[in-house]
Structure 1
Amino acid sequence: MGKAKKKQRQHGGWQDRLSDWAIRALIRGALLLPVRTRLNTVSWIVRRLVAPLVGWPARVRANLAYVWPDLPEAEVRKITEQAIDNVARAFIENYDVPEMLARGARAPLGGPGLAAVEQARAEGRPVLLVTGHYGSGECGRCALLARGYQIGGLIRPMSNPFFNEHYTQNMRDIGEPVFEQGRRGTMGLIKHIRDGGMAILLFDVYDSAGVPIDFLGKPAPTLTSVADIALKTGALVVPYFGIRHADRYGFDAVLEEPIPHGDPVDMMREATRRLEARIKEDPGQWMWLHRRWKPKRQEKRQRKRAAATMGP
């Protein structure tokens, strides 16, 4: 007999409610502290208490072992600490919108793509800022918002509906328009872009419908949505990053050279190369918690495709 599938927990019950209460209590308590103390405190709580409980260090280590198997143990420990620290800071930063916008106004905004973005805005041409879970994308967004840019975004709803309620509202408080992932949200985003708007899209999340593109030396299913939307709307595609400083507080907002329009897969390969370069420069800023590759699932899908091709 085949192995029974593990029954998935239904979301919206008492476990999600309890989890959301704990998160809200952490947020309220943290917001009473001065900003740098707040960031350091939440980082410590997440790294020392939350992360081990939910298995994040093991997940980071597994991803590192998969793509960089010869990495020295000291470097593995360093990247693991920094990656989880980055997640913790990004989480609590988002809940102090005035401070984020003020910090964004002070942050350097530059890079070889800035002039192209400014020209596109002057001409009313839409712009897609493509990025990954690197550094602080929201801080970088605030650097643009503080300078008068209106930037839309597509967000993936959280599985916990109670947490998702205030998480989504908080994203809207930072800057509108914000669209939730799904058919309706995607159509709203495309309309915003067609009307000459700007938007940020992340592409470094596993999706079984994606095209396998090598990422850090291993194939990772990658959606071509960014390229597809750009080709449909004529939008300029600009890789963008919010890069943390060594003090883990300050950051630079960097706009890279635009990616030329062309074959959608080639465009996403170039977007992937840009993200890879940033990760190799400072690995601890990327969210290694993601199950980006899922090699076993990829192998299983390949076997199914091969069997279907061979037929009976």
Structure 2
Amino acid sequence: MIRPETPPLSDRIANAAFLAVIGLAGLLPYERRIPAVGWLFAHVLAPLAGWRRRIRENLALARPDLTPAEVKALIRAVPDNAGRSVAEIYSAEEFTSRIRDADPLEGPGLPALGAAFDAHRPVIVACAHFGNYDAMRAALAGRGWPVGALYRPMNNEAFNRHYIPAIGAIAQPLFPRGRAGLASMLRFLKGGGWLALGFDQYDRHGAELRFFGLPSRTVLTPAELALRYDALLVPVHGIRCSDGLRFRVLVGEPIEPGEPGAMMQALNDDLEMLVRRHMDQWFWVHRRWK
């Protein structure tokens, strides 16, 4: 019998610290728990992890017009949103029930999603590290729509042991990156399933498109899969409301079939417009421009 490899001590220590924070936060009522973890991310994790410097560098590239006061506010607001999102993932039952009860789906592409479901047509849900990605999954699943997602296991195996069940409790199915996950994902898509795919991170093998007017290597996979399987390609984003707890889930206009690069540029443009309206909700920590 092959025993699972023990994670390195540093990974186990980091994981134990994370679980301690989540465990303590779990003692708070939901309305206090979510902002409390957001505060910890903004004021403790972000400085230790170097997030503030990276946010400042990315803003200097993409939004050099911002004032120092606006940059300072975003350096705190962006990690706060990330922390709230993590707390929501680990509050799956309360989080998903709130989303399901609110039914926050809206936007010009919503009728097209309903028609795709009725026709058993596959859908590529183009999403980003914006607001809370899992609010979108919870909202679609709350309607009984078959949304699956591709995920990348974390490098910290000790963390994966609770993270993957946590995201799985929000919506199923999940497909890990890799050969086995890819085969299952394609079978699901061919059978009329809906697949959530991110497109807003740097991909060294991607096409050089534009984002905030800057050259940005962008993955073409969402467009290529949509064309290959005659799937609807539609941007869907969970926008955090001003109270920090509720969401609007915006379904954009479906992307017209065409050349994959042009389709992905349309998604980049759509996301840029949304980020400009809600600068604090995109994860400016990513190295999007290299």
TM-score (norm 1): 0.89
Q: 1:162-216 CA deviation, whole Å, 9 max, x = no partner?
A: 1122111211121111011122212221211110001111111111101111111
Q: 1:150 deviation in Å?
A: 2.1
Question: Counterpart amino acid of 2:23?
Answer: R
Provide the aligned length of Structure 1 versus Structure 2: 284
Maintained 8 Å contact 2:42/2:78? no
CA distance in 1, matches of 2:235, 2:135: 15
1:290 and 2:282 matched: no
Q: Say which SS state the counterpart of residue 130 (structure 1) adopts.
A: strand
What are the within-5 Å matches in structure 2 for residues 175-194 of structure 1?
A: 175-194=171-190
Question: Counterpart amino acid of 1:213?
Answer: L
Q: Say which SS state the counterpart of residue 252 (structure 1) adopts.
A: strand
- Gaps (5+ residues) in structure 2? 1-5
TM-score (norm 2): 0.95
Q: Which residue of the other structure, out of 21, 35, 41, is the alignment partner of 1:40?
A: 35
CA distance in 2, matches of 1:157, 1:204: 18
Maintained 8 Å contact 1:101/1:145? no
CA distance in 2, matches of 1:102, 1:51: 30
CA distance in 2, matches of 1:150, 1:165: 25
Q: 1:107 deviation in Å?
A: 4.1
Question: Counterpart amino acid of 2:21?
Answer: L
Aligned to 2:73: 78
CA distance in 2, matches of 1:70, 1:146: 40
Q: Say which SS state the counterpart of residue 59 (structure 2) adopts.
A: helix
CA distance in 2, matches of 1:115, 1:286: 26
Aligned to 2:3: none
CA distance in 2, matches of 1:44, 1:82: 9
Q: Which moved more, 1:99-108 or 1:213-222?
A: 99-108
Maintained 8 Å contact 1:104/1:144? no
Q: Which residue of the other structure, out of 204, 212, 216, is the alignment partner of 2:212?
A: 216
CA distance in 2, matches of 1:81, 1:143: 27
CA distance in 2, matches of 1:165, 1:231: 35
Q: 1:12 deviation in Å?
A: 3.2
What are the within-5 Å matches in structure 2 for residues 162-311 of structure 1?
A: 162-294=158-290
